[in-house]
Amino acid sequence: MKLGIRTRITLLMAALGVLASGLTGYYAYRSSQTLLAEAAEREMLTSTRVLGRRLTLNIREAAKEATLLAELPATQAVADLPDASSHAIAARNNLARIFESVLAIQPEYFQIRLIRADRHGLEVVRIDRDGTNLTRVDGAALQEKGHFSYVFRTLKLKPGETYLSPIFVNQEQGAHTGQGQPTLQAARQVFASNGRLYGLVIINIDLNGLFDLLKADLPPTLGLYLTNAEGDFLIHPDPEQTFGFQRGRRILAQDVFPPVGDIVGGKAGYRVITLNNPPPLRGHPTVPTTAVFLRQPLGDYVSDDPFAIIGLSMPQREITRPTHTLATAILNIVFVFSAIAFVLALWMSRALTYPLQLILQAVGRVSTGRDLGELPLNRKDELGDLARGVAHMHTQIRDQMVVLDEHRRSLDHLSRHDTLTGLPNRRMFFDVLQQAIARAGQAGTQLAVMFVDLDNFKDVNDSHGHATGDRVLQVVAARLQHCVRAVDTLARLGGDEFIVLIESLDTQEPVTAIANKLIAQFKTPITAGAREILIGLSIGISILPEDGTDAETLVARADEAMYAAKMAGRNGYRFYSAPPGSP
């Protein structure tokens, strides 16, 4: 079914309207998704920094508590008094009550101890959290801890330094509530009043409580991650993925979120990560996810883990969920505007149909070379511009056709004439010669071909340059043209070779006369600039039909005769003479 112009314009303009509405809606939707993603990344990065500061503050408080307890007079009294004295027992009891008070007001601590530097790191005062109760471990239940790293690491500190242990799962026997729980230890040296290193005070921090505190204000759509300085997971949405290094299996954040490796290696302070195709690892994201990981220094402490890495993640579908309502609204808007675009397109197509049909008819006439006919040239709108453009185009096309015809004739002339001398070239000469042979055959007359070659022309080029040689060729062409008859054809075959066609011959006398005239013409030197150059001619002549009946044979035998003239001393002419025994 062939659609009319009105229908096509209606459909086109309606399609453009629908397309414009659709593209606007699409880019608005995509832009909103991008803005939401950027906002979510900023919010997650801010939240991660807040969580990091909260973690650092809690650790700082624990370190201050350890420092305060290590420097208490009650702690120093235990360090100064002999172990067996009644005063020492009272001092230890007093210190134990202080430890109990601290544990009572700090529910995230589950153990405080005073440990000696000697006697294999024997515990002196120890208070444990046991469920909801506080328990003092005393007497034979006190243990030697000198083989634990937190003891000898703390004892090697410089005065004023605080030891912060790596985060680990506590496996110490008798730890009560703390056994099997994520633990962080803050320790400080204890000195007697005479400056003697007595031991250390150490606080075991219950990180479950701290972790719950970190997660308390987070929405359920956010996943919280915490790793040590090497990337081992300490907090993970799947608890099975945590503390793998204590079970002989490293579960590293950089294996799941490769850019975290830059944070571990110190190349970056944070990374915003988008996982469009998460790796199929158990307990890790299985849908496209955006995550933020931040390097969080733990403080100016002596520690094997000077920093932790905190991360938050959110499925991308949760980030873009608010755009679903926007998408519905955008679709409704697109539908309304598309309907309006269709109505407007129908009205405008009707308004455009008549003048446009006139223009289309005029364009059709252009292709046939007829006059344009009626055009809406007086309109002041775009259709008037189009009509005037068509009229102008028609004028230009006619002018261009005239120019093209002139160019065609010029190119045809160039293709059949020598550009240097203006004489016919080889192609044109052979066309003329073949036509002359046909006419001579019909009239029963003869014709002659004179092959003219300049003597020693190469020496002119070598001695005076090609520019002088070109000038000499132009003068030669003019002199040759002057010598031949108006009915004869002079052509340049190329280089220093010229050829003359002499028609309508009854005898060879005109040929001889022309040859002598040519040779005589060149006894006068040619002036080229400031130079006078003497040029001689060697001419070979072939006659139709004695020397051949076709163009190629006549030219070839004239060429042979020319070489015979050169061999005879140059500056002369020779008729073709067939070798003995030739046909």
Q: Are 562 and 544 in contact (CB under 8 A)?
A: no
Rg (Cα) of the chain, in Å, rounded?
55
Dist. CA 347–CA 394, nearest whole Å = 31
Instruction: Using alpha carbons only, give the angle 418, 424, 425 rounded to the nearest 5 degrees.
Output: 60
| Sequence letter at residue 311 | G
Dist. CA 571–CA 538, nearest whole Å = 5
Dist. CA 166–CA 228, nearest whole Å = 8
Q: What is the DSSP letter of 122?
A: B
Nearest-CA neighbor of 267 among 314, 235, 234, 309? 309
CA separation (Å) from 186 to 69, 205, 213? 11, 8, 19
β-sheet with 289-297: strand ranges across: 233-235, 223-227, 307-315, 289-297, 270-275
Dist. CA 266–CA 287, nearest whole Å = 29
Active site residue ranges = 496
Question: What is the per-residue DSSP string for 281-325?
Answer: -TTS--S-EEEEEEEEE--SSEES-SEEEEEEEEEHHHHSTTHHH
Nearest-CA neighbor of 204 among 247, 239, 172? 172
Phi/psi of residue 81, each to 5°?
-90, 145
